[in-house]
Amino acid sequence: MEEAIIIGAGPCGISAAVELKKRGIEPLVIEKGCIANSIYHYPVGMTFFSSPENIEIGDVPFVTINEKPTRHEALKYYRKVVQLYDVKVHTYERVTQIQKADPGFLVYTETREGKKIYETPYVILSTGYYDQPNLLNIPGEDLPHVFHYFKDGHPYAGHEVVVIGGRNSAIDAALELYQAGANVTMVYRKASFHPSVKAWVKPVIEAAIEKERIRMIWETEVMEIKPRSVVIDTKGVRSEIPADFVFAMTGYRPDLTMAKELGAEIDPKTHVPICSEAMETTVPGLYLAGVIATGHDATKIFIENGRFHGQMIAEDIKQKLNQKQYTG
């Protein structure tokens, strides 16, 4: 019997594990990939929006010579926190199902050695949102040259590349692709960039567009993706632009499948899970930590505020355990 199981070894999951350990509870963290898996899959040269002190967890200082930490520094930092607190993490183990038990839960997983089953009274879902992109649902989106994630610009040098979107991920991809030598066209359905665009990046992309280093097509929807082009609609006028590769940087959304299967209540309009102040769902013993607790708007919860969910969850579980000991 595990004292608590945390699904997801991102910053918010690690933070929850650390807070539980501080209160004498030994959790098991199960992660389908590596530690900080989502951050690992960010673009290689990515710089965080947040300052280092705003993504610290476990009272461990995030030391960097830069004003904003890099992806590489963040990976090193979260690995170090896991080591310092001796957090038990099972990486490359995928949770396939969670069932209610009496009491608690049964957690089913798959590893390269086979299937496993764990028992626990408490489950904390901290699976983020990066694994589930917002799809365009248009013809050709499943073609092999279409991507919803961007890693590095080098492979696309000299090619016609279309980037769909107007937020940070789209802008970062467009700039890096241009710097690597790609011919970049951005397509965005709105008339201007989203207000959440990083302040130090906005003038860079605007200058690139003004100097025609990056072609920008505003107020336009992509209707179809073909092997060497995309069909677009600009205010009712259809046209076709060349595209050897397409990056649909249209955002991501949390996967609430397991929470729903367990009977957790979800707001039908916003898709926000109903949680207590301690982040417990309507299923007793099932908690949410991090961006999985948000709904359609995944910009409301991120590392800066999601890292504090672990404190609330750990304190709630500790109180429940104390109450059981007192009444038992």
Summarize pLDDT for 37-53 with one digit per residue, the tens.
999 998 888 888 788 99
Q: What is the pTM of this model?
A: 0.89
Q: What is the pLDDT of residue 297?
A: 66
Q: Which of 258, 264, 285, 263 is nearest to 121 (CA)?
A: 285
Q: Which domains does the chain have, with CATH numbers?
A: 4-132+252-327 (3.50.50.60), 146-248 (3.50.50.60)
- 233 beta partners: 221, 238
Q: At residue 105, what is the residue type?
A: F
Is 163 exposed, middle or buried (CB count within 10 Å of its CB: 0-12, 13-18, 19+)? buried
CB 138 within 8 A of CB 232: no
The SS3 assignment for 86 reads coil
Structure tokens at 314: 């750990």
What number is the average pLDDT over the span 159-177?
A: 96
Task: Report the distance separating Cα 98 and Cα 281, nearest Å.
Answer: 15
What number is the average pLDDT over the span 209-228?
A: 98
What number is the average pLDDT over the span 225-252?
A: 97
Task: Report the distance separating Cα 19 and Cα 10, nearest Å.
Answer: 14
Pairing assessment for the beta strands 123-125 and 220-225 based on DSSP bridges: unpaired
Task: Report the distance separating Cα 262 and Cα 249, nearest Å.
Answer: 31
Q: What is the pLDDT of residue 165?
A: 97
Q: In degrees, to the nearest 5, what angle opens at C-alpha 48 toward C-alphas 45 and 54?
A: 150
Residue 228 has pLDDT above 80, yes or no: yes
Q: What is the pLDDT of residue 296?
A: 66
Q: Which of 91, 60, 13, 29 is nearest to 310 (CA)?
A: 13
Q: What is the pLDDT of residue 254?
A: 87
DSSP string, 105-149: EEEEEEETTEEEEEEES-EEE---STTSB-----TTTTSTTEES-
Q: What is the pLDDT of residue 327?
A: 64
pLDDT, tens only, 68-88 = 899 999 999 999 999 999 999
Structure tokens at 265: 């209540």
Residue 299 has pLDDT above 70, yes or no: no
3-state SS, one letter per residue, for 188-232: CCCCCCCCCCCCCCHHHHHHHHHCCCCEEECCEEEEEECCCEEEE
CB 136 within 8 A of CB 164: yes
Pairing assessment for the beta strands 160-164 and 183-187 based on DSSP bridges: parallel
Pairing assessment for the beta strands 94-100 and 105-111 based on DSSP bridges: antiparallel
Chain centroid to Cα 27, Å, comes to 22
Q: Which of 123, 82, 77 is nearest to 100 (CA)?
A: 123
Q: What is the pLDDT of residue 325?
A: 73
